[in-house]
Amino acid sequence: MPSDPRIQTVVAFLSAYLTNSGEGLDRYLAPGTRLTAIRPASYTSVSADQMQIEQDQSSERATAVPKDDTRTRLVVTVRATGHDTVRVPLTYALTLKARAGRWEIAALDGVPSPALPAQPAVSSPAPTP
């Protein structure tokens, strides 16, 4: 996985959200955020293709989590692999919040911000068919 903790958090959250595998959603959610994993699980794995971060003009990847209560909005495009091994592109808008040295999901936003800079995000190798 890349060193950017935002990518790590988002991919782990979306994996739990879409596949019902690994840790439950609560580990990734900020206090007060309520989401339920999709049931039945439609996908078996998730990998990140691209992440766009609001107000992030830096070409360098973040390797540390900022101070508590820092928020950032992002749009992530992932490839979710279905039970039939077909990889489907999905896009999610999320708000992340820093707490206790980690990023947490504060909201699954309805509409992405239209002007976010694109950053490639490679989270894991693509499964071989």
43 domain residue, yes or no: yes
State the total domains in the chain: 1
Is this prediction's pTM over 0.95?
no
Domain assignment present for 106: yes
What was the pLDDT predicted at 39? 86
CATH number at residue 28: 3.10.450.540
Task: Give the residue ranges of the chain where pLDDT is below 70.
Answer: 1-2, 22, 55-62, 111-129
| Residue 108, token pair as written in the block | 């699954």
pLDDT tens across 77-114, in order?
A: 999 999 999 999 999 999 999 999 999 999 999 865 55
Q: Which helix (H) or strand (E) holds 17?
A: helix 5-19
Determine the structural domain holding residue 41 and report its residue range. Answer: 5-120
In a domain, 127, yes or no: no
Is residue 126 situated within a structural domain? no
Token code pair at residue 88 = 């489907």
- What values do phi and psi take at 79, rounded to 5? -115, 115
Q: Is residue 125 part of a domain?
A: no
Q: What is the pLDDT of residue 80?
A: 95
Q: From the CB of residue 8, how many other CB atoms can be counted at a distance below 10 Å?
A: 16
d(CA 109, CA 107): 6
Residue type, 88: V
Q: Is residue 72 part of a domain?
A: yes
Residue 129 in domain: no
